[in-house]
């Protein structure tokens, strides 16, 4: 037997040597540590970004977060883009009475809860908004960290980068502060991101804007970058929110007199009101700080084109837009634009009793004549209403462009909408909802003037305040800036006549009115002017809260409007609770340390 | 076995001598008669003087000094005994007598030079002859049975009549009857001269060879929890997917499938093991993979499921989700051609499957909702001005009637292939109302054919074996424009290069065309079908699509249009899968094997997005997309196997190494702005160049390197123990290596003497195992790195106001500290075979504790929004019982019955989800404004969460009382019990008892995990006929029926509505209703939040298949050269018994943490087949 084995052994050993060699080679090859190491693929390591172009890219990323979206239709955090829309149309507009949720019942129900002031802490909208702002903050912090580790910067260059990053961080925190009031502070030095929300962060926001104000240059290489004056305006706004009027005046004064845009235009109101909402006239002299919108630059969607406003276009069988009749201005808002035919001034108290005629309950096929009374011309650049040219899209047909009139009224939004002539350039059809190249101005000069007016009024300088308000009203009164009738209603892109589309009348307050009527009147007039000028720009709710009039103002609105449309019937603003939104329950539950959340819920939401 | 000692030098002796020895061996073996005759025909004399020498040494000396060769049995001679041998000129006989002085041994000198040593048997005991007949259980004679006297070499065989005759010394002793395939019997002679024996067939199943990790075992020797699946039963389900066929066939395996061709079902072995991917590891002919979608089920020879650590730990880091081992068919014997085919038709469910209201009823419901909401002025664009709503003749122009000038066809203008928005703005649509109602379900679900053709050619000899097979499978989906066409060829061959060296390969190549639709999503095509109003026809007056474009018609899209527009899209996958191997028996008991295998895959696709014009929400974009992917996955395995039996000990050892790596890449792009949409024109080159978008990605490479070992030891076939160990290194982790050991043991109680006479118990085995399995599926190799990235949507920005500038952002937060997820597993089980294989039972109880579970919990928002890394943070456990019972009953030669019942239970519990949070919510993004699912510590994965409905508000007094209580409890005079409280709306349970409904009152509403699932196969064969039925049931699970959201509430958009909404909703006259009051708005207290209205019991029992077959008599076929011919008819999914109100309670396609939600599933359809099996 041994010999049998020996005979076959010769053959066997050949194979064996072969196999074992292969095996050993494998073993050697595989045992190499490299075999089990996979490098980063298609991404960049943090240290690779510690170069000048890297830092600038991080800074651009920090700006980019202003849009609130991570992909087409998708907000940071993965939910819908409109939940973190930077114009705050839900949290500042719908909640403030500027607009209805719109669409029909059941569509985006969390907004309905917000509109009637019964928000739930578990509402995913708040969580999305929270994540979007902290993503912006994280990008600012990453920029600051990388910049300070990158060699070769001059002191001014570094200060410019840090200034922009801190300006943006200030913006994101400001947004959080006005939404949630009690929020944790995370900056470039924070190691543990589980921080309590019990310390007021106003001083930190101030510090960021102050640094930016002191360190940023007056002009920048790109129009979209924040400069010294944008920082000044935002710093003034911060002081105003804190009711630090003297400090606010100290910064508003130079902003108004010396301020200029990043592209070197001295701050001034543009002649035509609508130029603020026209993609072709973006970054003009009124644009203090704007979120840059570009259409048709992302084949994957409308991420750069006001993605968060994609729902907010006229909708219906004859509407040229794909989506979706949200953000419909309220009847109450429209009534504000009634002017006294004798004075051209607004009805500060009883605007609703001078209501502007609506087409509620009328089908588009039933004829309708628009209101013939005197109206502030800004209305028709703010609200699309039946029978009035809707940009160059034709006369607004009323019900045909409204998804559910009985639910949310007869009006359409307009400020972010592109024109028909530019639908292929400034309109963006790369997604299921439209995109637009109209910039959203976080702060525009009219806003600065009205904030300054408020500051002056609070400080007792009523004439200065009146002058600022009248600057804004005078611009509105410029007849060149009115909405005009079409030359041919069947060919709306064929140009407009010189006939105003409605009976427009707006006049400045006669000199001395504020002084004569006293500061309470002055403030009321300023507040009212803010609503007219900045309607549908996402400020309203935060303004009424800041003024301390949210309860009476919003409950009066709910009372009035709730009797006309069905969507907000029964809504009630509870003072002491609804001034701020609930801290997202998801975040409270995530930020637990030794069994206890480091985040405290806002009053009234427990 | 008898071991003979031979002189080592024998091999070099003459051929004749060898022949003599062989003759002698035969003599020894078969006669067993060996008497000592001390006949002195010795010619030589010998001289020895040994004072102390071992018997063995002495034998050597004798052989050296003489011509004699000594033969003896090792067990009969005490070789080591020390003896004294002093002889002078002695004969060989004298020498031998002295050598064997102290032993009761005799010797015989034969043929002059051979000495045989034998125990000394008393000469005076007379030989006795015992005779008898050996038969089988049915009294048929068994020829060739070995009859042997225990403790001797005396043995005979039975003749053709089963008769034997054996001469034994004396009347005592034990006769042993052995025959291959039958249980050995021992019978004491006790003076009997006739012993007739009935031999019982040995359990075939117990001796079935089972492929386990890197080795094979007999089923009776298994110590781990292994389910051996009956492949023939499996193949009865008409499907191209192994996983789909496996449903209900294996205890411990839960499978959820759908009706969509090519959609791989969700498969879970012993419950949910991780929050991520629960796909088991498949090992096909030794090659690990996670994708068996291309494997032709006709090629499967056997399939085993390794369920516990004792069985699966040998696969270490990939074992946690369980391992399924598949061996494909090999050729044997002479050339065989096998042809299997079936043709069938799949019939979708008939009737009004979604209980949709017809158009008039829809209008009536609208009126009712308006009335309920306080509307007094009824004017509707479609239905007129009341007081009742009347259906229009046309829905576009809205509400138009026959003869209206607005419906003059000359006004009609639609350019379906429009490219300019201005063109679109001029469209004039004319759409007739479908007053009888469009049945959207049956517009998209049609009867569809299914075809399977399989041919194989196989054979084998001692030179090797081969098998070639070819398969064409074509299943058209019942949903229009879905299908799976699959072409597959396989070649399995083995070449026996020499007696101890073998090489071979198993390779399959598959081409698959399989466009799939998203199922179970709120915006998937099926959801559109259930949302689209019935008044809308499929086409307008000119044959273009109609849709929801007109007022009041809802925002759903025409589902027929969605599907038809995909007609020219193509998705083709190519996959080469298999391995090549070499095996060498290096020395006796040792086998070296190397195998290199894996897959090379690629795919290409192109699709065209047409602009739409018929819906409420249209897209004007035309876009062509095309791309391709390629991937590889290889595994190189080298093992050394040692197997030896020593007496009662059986030892098998396997050691080895394995290297595995996978990766790949993809590339593609899109363009828009096509001049023409002709499918022959559109390509990535012909669109508008300014719209070009392209991408390419390299997949993250994942590598594993492993050392593995296993020891299987059995003693006396009674005590079994098995140890496995694997050390895996993975590219996923910074600390790369982890060790996964397991030990298991078995005790075959039935082999014990005290059980021997329990005749009904064929086999009884107790098994237990404990070990660790790993998991690293979910994280990828770059989990360790913090990464920054750049993408248009994420981080580009038009900083200058005109041009887009790239920016960077942190897209992933790395976690270098991640390590292996561990699944600590214990299992105890019983295998019993009763009544000689008639009944076999396997029951296993298991417990899995998953520790260091790799999970990527949501980062706190203060981190920003980078991708969250996998961290070893979570924990969960599973407990459960798997059981199966198989019965085989042979009533007579014509009638046979077999039945298998398998039962699967699992009980999942989350132990931990993160250091901080104790839950995470999933499933948002549906229209209900809150998450539906909460995964919370202490509860199972995927449990539904929301407000619990306890009734309706039936009176204002009831509402006032509840509000008063809330006001008292809160001290707030404006407080209400629940938001949007109102008559006929839901009353929610105040779970925390604070008098008000708040977030904190949300509670768990139901568990989508089944309490148990079961499969039951029953087969009957009678003469040439056979019939089988397979029932599958799932019990105790809950379903979130989100279809109700769309259809039971008027306020949920303007969708098609259900009978429930109209006829069984709350009204003051009908308070005992199912649905709440129908209103225009949605409310917190109706359908705006997740509540228990949507939760239903999802139990069902389904007749998965029934087969009736006829096998043509082989005698008739022999003449025409056919070996076997079987014809059968079968029906799949013939009936389903369920209380679930939706269309199909089987809901696949969701994630691990978010399942059992019905958004409109692709239902399984009834399938009727005719098939043939032909062997040549």
Question: What is the secondary structure of B124-174 as a DSSP string?
Answer: TSPEEEEEEEEEETTS-B-TT-EEEETTSS-EEE--TTSEEEEEEESS-SE
B430: left (phi over 0), alpha (psi -120 to 50) or beta: beta
Testing the interface with B: which of A106, A127, A305 to mutate, by most B Cβ within 10 A? A106
Per-residue pLDDT at A156: 96
CA distances from B714 to B154, B308, B719, B748, B749 (A): 29, 20, 5, 10, 13
**CA B117, B123, B125 angle in degrees (round to 5)?**
125
Cα distance between residue B590 and residue B652, in whole Å: 10
Set of chain B residues whose Cβ sits within 8 Å of the Cβ of A423: 421
Positions of E strands within B937-989: 944-946, 949-952, 986-988
What angle, 0 to 180 degrees and rounded to 10, lies between the N-to-C axes of helices B55-65 and B92-99?
A: 170
Window 656-685 of B: residues touching A by CB (8 A cutoff) are 657, 659, 661, 670, 672
Question: How close does chain A come to B864, measured CA to CA in Å?
Answer: 4
Q: Strand pairing partners for B602?
A: B574, B630
Which of B 838-867 lie inside 8 A of A, CB atoms? 857-866
Q: What is the pLDDT of residue B1110?
A: 95
Q: CA of B456, closest CA in chain A: separation in Å?
A: 32
Residues of B in contact with A138 (CB under 8 A): 810, 863-866
List the 55-94 stretch of A: residues with Cβ below 8 A of B.
Answer: 57-67, 69-72, 74, 76-77, 79-80
Q: Nearest by CB to B864, which of A122, A138, A567?
A: A138
A contact residues 421-440, partner B, Cβ 8 Å cutoff: 423-424, 429-432, 439
Identify which of A5, A42, A76 has the shortest CB distance to residue B698: A42
Nearest CA in chain B to A12: B586
Question: Of B619, B693, B861, which is closest to A322 when you measure between CB atoms?
Answer: B619
- Minimal Cα–Cα distance from B208 to chain A, Å? 31
Q: Encoding tokens for residue B53? A: 């020498």
Residues 871-900 of B with CB under 8 A from A: none
Q: Give contacts of A19 with chain B, Cβ < 8 Å.
A: 582, 584, 592, 594
B381 reaches A (C-beta below 8 A): yes
Give residue A358's pLDDT.
96
Residues 968-987 of B with CB under 8 A from A: 974, 979-980
User: Which residue is it, tokens 């919990």?
Assistant: B857
| Structure-token pair, residue B56 | 């063995």
**CA B131 vs CA A358, B170, B685: distances in Å:** 116, 14, 92
Q: Could you tell me the pLDDT band of residue A322, with boundaries at 50, 70 and 90?
A: confident
SS3 B345: strand
Residue A86 structure tokens: 């930077």
**Closest in A19, A79, A263 to B924, CB measured:** A79
What are B724's strand-pairing partners?
A: B710, B742
A183: number of Cβ within 10 Å:
25
Portion 610-629 of B in contact with A at CB < 8 A: 616-621
Predicted local confidence at residue A17, as pLDDT: 67
pTM for this model (two decimals)? 0.84
Question: Rounded CA gap, B247 and B1032, in Å?
Answer: 8
Residues of chain B with Cβ-Cβ distance to A132 below 8 Å are 865
Prior bond to B397 cis, omega within 30? yes
Residue environment code for B2-21, b if the CB has 16+ CB neighbours within 10 A, otherwise e: eeeeebeeeeeeeeebeebb
Q: Which of A29, A33, A41, A300 is most worth mutating to test chain B (most B CB atoms within 10 A of its CB)?
A: A41
Ranges of residues in chain B with a pLDDT under 50 are 1-13, 18, 24-42, 122-124
Nearest CB to A429 within list B620, B693, B799:
B620
Give me the residue from B807, B863, B1089 closest to A138, CB to CB. Answer: B863
Q: Tell me B779's DSSP state.
A: S
Query: In this structure, what are the phi and psi dihedrals at residue B89, rounded to the nearest 5 degrees?
Result: 45, 45
Judged by average pLDDT, the poorest of A117-126, A213-222, B9-18, B956-965 is: B9-18
What are the chain B neighbours of A297 within 8 Å (beta carbons)? 792, 796, 798, 804
Q: Do B1081 and A315 touch (CB under 8 A)?
A: no
Identify all chain A residues contacting B729, using CB atoms and an 8 Å cutoff: 36
Q: Distance (Å) from the C-alpha of residue B992 to the closest C-alpha of chain A?
A: 12
- Chain B residues touching residue A1 (CB < 8 angstroms): 11
CB of A386 within 8 A of CB of A366?
no
Report the gap between the CA of A289 and the closest CA in chain B (Å). Answer: 12
Cβ distance of A223 and B800 shorter than 8 Å = yes
- B114-119 and B69-71 strand pairing: parallel
Check if the beta carbon of residue A571 is closer than 8 Å to that of residue A115.
yes
Convert the pLDDT of each residue in B603-643 to its tens digit. 999 999 999 999 988 888 899 999 999 999 999 999 999 99
Find the CB nearest A193 among B860, B979, B1088.
Answer: B860
DSSP A338: B
Q: Do A430 and B379 touch (CB under 8 A)?
A: no
With an 8 Å Cβ cutoff, is B1049 touching chain A?
Answer: yes
From CA A504, how far away is CA B367, in angstroms rounded? 41
**How much is the average pLDDT of A572-597?**
92
DSSP state of B100: T
- SS3 category, B489: strand
Query: A250 touching B, CB under 8 A?
Result: no
Can you list the positions of beta strands (E) in B777-834?
A: 787-789, 809-812, 821-834
Sorted by sequence, the CB contacts under 8 Å of residue A332 that are 6+ apart come out as: A97, A352, A557, A560, A561
At residue B934, what are phi and psi to the nearest 5 degrees?
Answer: -125, 125
Q: If you average pLDDT over residues A76-90, what whole number do you get? A: 95
C-alpha span between A69 and A303 (Å, rounded): 7
Q: What is the count of residue pairs from A and B with beta carbons less than 8 Å apart?
A: 364
Q: Is A601 on the interface with B (CB under 8 A)?
A: no
pLDDT at residue number A382: 97
ipTM of the complex: 0.94
A108 touching chain B per CB within 8 A? yes
Q: What is the pLDDT of residue B111?
A: 62
Give contacts of A 343-402 with B, CB under 8 A.
Answer: 361, 363, 399-400
Confidence label for A14 from pLDDT (cuts 50, 70 and 90): low
Q: Between chains, do B802 and A294 touch, taking CB under 8 Å as contact?
A: yes
Residue B32: its pLDDT value, please?
39
Answer whether A109 sits within 8 Å of B1082, measured CB to CB.
yes
Give backbone dihedrals phi and psi of B635, rounded to 5 degrees, phi first: -135, 130
CA distance to A52, B215, B217, B751, B828, per residue, from B226 (Å): 61, 14, 11, 21, 12
End-to-end CA distance of chain B: 42
**Given an 8 Å threshold on Cβ–Cβ distance, is B701 in contact with A38?**
yes
Tell if the CB–CB gap between A131 and B865 is shorter than 8 Å: yes
Tell me whether residues B594 and A194 touch, CB distance under 8 A: no
Nearest beta carbon to residue B808 from set A54, A71, A300: A54
């Amino acid at each position: 037997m041994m010999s049998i084995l020996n005979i076959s052994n010769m053959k066997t050993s050949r194979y064996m040597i072969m196999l074992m060699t292969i095996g050993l080679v494998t073993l050697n090859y595989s045992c190499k540590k490299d075999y089990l190491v996979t490098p980063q693929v298609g991404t960049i390591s943090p240290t690779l970004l510690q170069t000048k172009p890297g830092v600038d890219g991080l800074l651009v990323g920090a700006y980019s977060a202003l849009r609130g979206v991570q992909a087409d239709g998708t907000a940071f955090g993965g939910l819908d883009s409109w939940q973190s829309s930077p114009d705050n149309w839900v949290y500042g507009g719908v909640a403030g009475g500027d607009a209805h949720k719109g669409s029909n019942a059941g569509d985006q129900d969390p907004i309905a809860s917000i509109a009637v002031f019964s928000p739930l802490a578990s509402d995913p909208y708040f969580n999305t908004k929270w994540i979007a702002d902290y993503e912006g903050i994280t990008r600012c912090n990453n920029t600051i960290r990388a910049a300070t580790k990158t060699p070769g910067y001059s002191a001014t260059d570094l200060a410019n980068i840090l200034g922009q990053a801190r300006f943006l961080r200030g913006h994101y925190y400001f947004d959080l502060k006005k939404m949630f009031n009690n929020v944790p502070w995370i900056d470039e030095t924070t190691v543990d991101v589980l921080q309590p929300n019990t310390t007021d962060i106003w001083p930190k926001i101030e510090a960021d804007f102050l640094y930016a104000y002191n360190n940023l240059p007056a002009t920048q290489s790109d129009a979209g970058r924040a400069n010294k004056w944008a920082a000044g305006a935002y710093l003034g706004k911060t002081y105003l929110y804190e009711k630090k009027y003297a400090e606010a005046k100290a910064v508003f004064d130079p902003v108004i007199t010396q301020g200029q845009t990043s592209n070197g235009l001295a701050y001034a109101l543009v002649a035509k009101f609508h130029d603020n909402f026209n993609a072709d006239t973006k970054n003009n002299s009124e644009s203090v700080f704007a979120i840059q919108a570009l259409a048709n630059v992302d084949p994957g969607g409308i991420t750069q084109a006001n993605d968060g406003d994609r729902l907010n276009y006229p909708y219906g069988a004859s509407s040229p837009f794909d989506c979706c009749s949200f953000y419909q201005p309220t009847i109450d808002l429209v009534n504000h634009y009634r002017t006294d035919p004798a004075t051209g001034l607004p009805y500060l108290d009883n605007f609703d009793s001078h209501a502007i005629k609506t087409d509620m309950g009328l089908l588009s096929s039933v004829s309708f004549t628009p209101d013939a009374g005197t109206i502030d011309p800004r209305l028709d650049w703010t609200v699309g209403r039946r029978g009035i040219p809707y940009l160059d899209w034709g006369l607004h047909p009323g019900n045909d462009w409204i998804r559910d009139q009985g639910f949310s009224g007869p009006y359409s939004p307009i400020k972010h909408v592109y024109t028909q002539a530019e639908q292929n350039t400034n309109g963006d059809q790369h997604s299921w909802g439209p995109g637009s190249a109209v910039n959203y101005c976080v702060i525009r000069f009219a806003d600065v003037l009205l904030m300054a007016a408020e500051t002056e009024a609070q400080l007792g300088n009523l004439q200065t305040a009146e002058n600022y308000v009248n600057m804004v009203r005078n611009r509105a009164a410029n007849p060149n800036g009115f909405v005009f009738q079409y030359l041919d209603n069947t060919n709306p892109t064929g140009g407009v006549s010189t006939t105003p589309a409605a009976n427009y009348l707006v006049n400045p307050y006669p000199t001395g009115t504020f002084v004569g009527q006293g500061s309470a009147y002055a403030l009321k007039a300023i507040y009212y002017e803010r609503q007219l000028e900045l309607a549908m720009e996402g400020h309203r709710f935060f303004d009424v809260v800041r003024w301390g009039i949210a309860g009476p103002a919003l409950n009066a609105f709910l009372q009035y409007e709730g009797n006309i449309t069905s969507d907000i019937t029964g809504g009630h603003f509870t003072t002491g609770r609804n001034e701020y939104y609930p801290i997202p329950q998801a975040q409270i539950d995530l930020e637990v340390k030794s069994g206890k959340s480091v985040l405290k819920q806002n009053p009234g939401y427990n | 076995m008898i071991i003979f000692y031979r002189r080592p030098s024998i091999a070099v002796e003459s051929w004749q001598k060898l022949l003599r020895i062989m003759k002698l061996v035969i003599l020894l073996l078969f006669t067993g008669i060996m008497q000592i005759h001390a006949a002195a025909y010795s010619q030589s004399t010998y001289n020895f003087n040994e004072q102390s020498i071992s018997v063995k040494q002495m034998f050597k000396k004798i052989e050296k000094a003489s011509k004699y060769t000594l033969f003896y049995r090792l067990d009969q001679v005490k070789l080591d005994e020390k003896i004294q041998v002093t002889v002078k000129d002695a004969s060989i006989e004298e020498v031998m007598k002295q050598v064997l002085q102290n032993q009761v041994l005799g010797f015989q000198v034969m043929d002059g030079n051979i000495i045989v040593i034998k125990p000394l048997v008393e000469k005076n005991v007379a030989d006795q002859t015992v005779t008898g007949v050996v038969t089988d259980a049915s009294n048929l004679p068994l020829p060739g049975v070995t009859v042997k006297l225990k403790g001797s070499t005396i043995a005979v065989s039975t003749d053709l009549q089963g008769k034997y005759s054996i001469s034994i010394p004396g009347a005592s002793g034990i006769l042993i009857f052995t025959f291959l395939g039958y249980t050995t019997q021992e019978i004491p002679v006790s003076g009997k001269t006739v012993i007739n024996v009935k031999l019982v067939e040995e359990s075939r199943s117990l001796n079935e060879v089972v492929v386990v990790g890197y080795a094979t075992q007999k089923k009776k020797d298994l110590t781990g929890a292994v389910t051996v699946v009956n492949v023939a039963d499996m193949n009865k389900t008409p499907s191209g997917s192994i996983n789909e066929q496996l449903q209900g066939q294996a205890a411990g395996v839960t499978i959820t499938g759908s009706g969509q061709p090519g959609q791989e079902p969700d498969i879970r072995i012993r419950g949910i093991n991780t929050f991520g991917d629960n796909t088991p590891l498949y090992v096909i002919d030794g090659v690990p993979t996670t994708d068996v979608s291309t494997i032709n089920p006709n090629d499967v020879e056997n399939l085993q499921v390794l369920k516990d650590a004792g069985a699966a730990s040998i696969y270490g880091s990939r074992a946690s989700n369980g391992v399924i081992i598949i061996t494909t068919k090999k050729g044997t014997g002479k050339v065989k051609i096998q042809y299997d085919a079936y043709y069938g038709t799949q019939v979708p469910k008939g009737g009004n499957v979604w209980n949709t209201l017809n158009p008039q009823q829809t209008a009536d419901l609208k009126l009712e909702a308006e009335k309920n909401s306080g509307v007094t002025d009824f004017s509707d664009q479609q239905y007129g001005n009341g007081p009742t709503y009347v259906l229009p003749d046309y829905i576009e122009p809205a509400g138009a009637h026959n003869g209206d000038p607005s419906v003059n066809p000359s006004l009609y203008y639609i350019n379906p292939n429009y490219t300019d928005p201005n063109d679109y703005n001029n469209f004039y649509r004319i759409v007739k109302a479908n007053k009888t109602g469009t049945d959207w379900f049956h517009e998209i679900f049609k009867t569809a054919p299914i075809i399977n053709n399989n041919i194989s050619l196989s054979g084998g000899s001692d030179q090797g074996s081969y098998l070639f097979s070819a398969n064409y499978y074509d299943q058209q989906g019942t949903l229009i424009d879905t299908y799976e066409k699959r072409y597959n060829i396989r070649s399995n061959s083995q070449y026996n290069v020499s007696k101890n060296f073998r090489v071979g390969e198993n390779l399959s190549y598959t081409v698959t065309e399989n466009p799939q639709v998203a199922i179970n999503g709120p915006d998937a095509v099926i959801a559109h079908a259930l949302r689209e109003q019935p008044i809308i026809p499929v086409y307008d007056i000119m044959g273009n699509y109609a849709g929801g474009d007109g007022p009041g018609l809802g925002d759903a899209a025409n589902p027929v249009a969605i599907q038809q527009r995909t007609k020219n899209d193509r998705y083709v996958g190519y996959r080469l899968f298999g391995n090549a191997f070499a095996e060498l028996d290096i020395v006796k008991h040792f086998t070296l094997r190397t195998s290199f295998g894996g897959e090379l895959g690629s795919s290409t696709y192109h699709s065209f997005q047409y602009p739409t014009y018929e819906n409420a929400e249209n897209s004007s974009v035309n876009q062509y997309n095309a791309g391709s992917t390629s991937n590889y996955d290889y595994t190189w395995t080298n093992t050394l196997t040692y197997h030896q039996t020593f007496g009662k000990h059986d030892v098998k050892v396997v050691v080895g190494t394995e290297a595995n790596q996978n990766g790949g890449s993809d590339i593609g792009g899109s363009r828009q702005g096509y001049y023409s949409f002709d499918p022959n024109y559109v390509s990535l080159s012909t669109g508008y160049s300014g719209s070009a978008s392209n991408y390419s990605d390299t997949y993250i490479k994942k590598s594993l390197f492993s050392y593995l070992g296993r020891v299987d030891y059995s003693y006396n076939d009674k005590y079994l123990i098995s140890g496995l160990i694997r050390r895996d290194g993975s590219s996923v982790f910074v600390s790369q290596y982890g060790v996964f050991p397991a030990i298991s043991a078995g005790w075959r109680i039935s082999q014990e003497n005290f059980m021997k006479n329990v005749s009904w118990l064929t086999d009884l085995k107790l098994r237990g195992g404990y070990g660790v399995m790993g998991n690293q599926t979910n994280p990828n190799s770059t989990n360790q790195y913090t990464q920054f990235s750049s993408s248009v949507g994420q981080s580009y920005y038009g900083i200058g106001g005109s041009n887009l500038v790239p920016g960077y952002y942190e897209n992933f937060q790395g976690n270098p500290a991640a390590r292996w997820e561990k699944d600590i597993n214990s299992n105890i089980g019983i295998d019993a075979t009763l009544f000689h294989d008639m009944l076999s039972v396997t029951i296993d109880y298991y417990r899995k504790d998953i520790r260091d579970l790799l999970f990527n919990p949501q980062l706190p928002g203060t981190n920003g929004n980078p991708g969250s890394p996998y961290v070893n943070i979570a924990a969960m456990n599973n407990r459960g019982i798997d059981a199966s019972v198989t019965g085989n009953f042979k009533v007579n030669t014509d009638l046979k019955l077999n039945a298998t019942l398998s039962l699967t239970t699992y009980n999942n519990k989350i132990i931990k989800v993160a250091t901080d949070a104790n839950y995470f919510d999933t499933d948002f993004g549906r229209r209900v404004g809150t998450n539906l699912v909460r995964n919370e510590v202490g509860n199972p994965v995927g449990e539904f969460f929301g407000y619990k409905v306890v009734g309706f508000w039936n009176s204002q007094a009831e509402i006032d009382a509840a509000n008063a209580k809330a006001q008292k409890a809160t001290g707030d005079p404006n407080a209400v019990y629940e938001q949007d409280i109102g008559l006929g709306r839901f009353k929610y349970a105040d779970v925390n008892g604070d008098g008000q409904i708040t977030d904190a009152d949300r509670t768990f509403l139901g568990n989508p995990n089944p309490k148990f699932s079961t499969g039951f196969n029953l087969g009957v064969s009678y003469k040439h006929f056979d019939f089988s039925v397979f029932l599958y049931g799932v019990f105790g699970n809950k379903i979130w029926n989100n279809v109700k959201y769309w259809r039971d509430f008027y306020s949920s958009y303007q969708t098609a509505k259900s009978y429930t909404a109209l006829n069984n909703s709350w009204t003051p006259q009908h308070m005992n209703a199912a649905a709440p009051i129908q209103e225009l708005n949605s409310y917190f207290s109706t359908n705006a939040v997740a509540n228990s209205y949507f939760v239903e019991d999802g139990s069902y029992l389904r007749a998965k298949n029934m087969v009736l077959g006829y096998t043509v008599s082989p005698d008739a076929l022999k003449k025409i050269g056919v070996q076997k011919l079987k014809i059968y008819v079968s029906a799949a999914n013939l009936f389903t018994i369920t209380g679930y109100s939706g269309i199909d309670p089987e809901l696949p396609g969701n994630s691990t943490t978010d399942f059992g939600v019905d958004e409109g599933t692709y239902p399984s359809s009834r399938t009727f087949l005719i098939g043939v099996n032909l062997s040549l």
